[in-house]
Structure 1
Amino acid sequence: MNQIKVLSKLFVIVSMLFLSSTMFAQIKQVSGKVNFIRVHEVGGKYGPPNDQIDAEVIIKFRNHPGKAFGFTLRNDTNESVKNGMLDILRDAFKNDYTVTIDYKAKAGNDVRPAGKNGLIIRVWITK
């Protein structure tokens, strides 16, 4: 009986790891001019229920309508990096620089299309 309990717990853990790793696709990249920046309180998610991102900073690109990207601004080990990313985005918005981001979005499958909203992991600008 104990072996069944252990095996069933192991199955649940492996299933959760598999689902969480397949929930987001590989890293993607997009570039353009930022035409929207929104910053809101912690917990203010963005997007429809089936494609929400949990992020405090949300941006949109002029050349990618219908898509939004964001990142958190939390008091954690990445706080200074995220504040730097926000500074870069503000400068780009003000000076009309081209922004490139790397992001992760929900992967699509036979039942659900890929997400249009993504979580930003890197930001840089070019003139």
Structure 2
Amino acid sequence: MIEAFGDHQVANIATEVEARTMGIPVRQPALAAGRSPDVTPFWGLAPVPGYPHPGSALIMVDSGTPAPPPTNLPNRAGQDPHSHPRNSPAIRAMTAHFLATGEVIDTCAAVPCTATPG
């Protein structure tokens, strides 16, 4: 699962509820320190235990859009980052590897994954 931080089309809280429901771990570090307004960011989501990781994972991608509201409402601040993850060579490489092998690898060099707008 690839989540765009501050997505205007799919509320981040909804994506994270789906990941918790499915028992999918989250890639860490998911966001830079201070980016999330949540008291406990990614509450209830275990971190990916190691790489390569067999199976699915939640991957957060930050392109600089303002933080979403901490409720089940879509973000309306800044530019809609919904399609920004596809602008990231690291996310494209991660996705290609997953589709070929069923494994998640960390192509973001152990730092939060980012993408450029537009």
Return the TM-score normalized by structure 1: 0.28
Identify which of structures 1 and 2 has the higher relative contact order when contacts are C-alpha pairs closer than 8 Å and 6+ apart.
2
The answer to which structure has the higher helix fraction is 1
The answer to which structure has the higher strand fraction is 1
Return the TM-score normalized by structure 2: 0.29
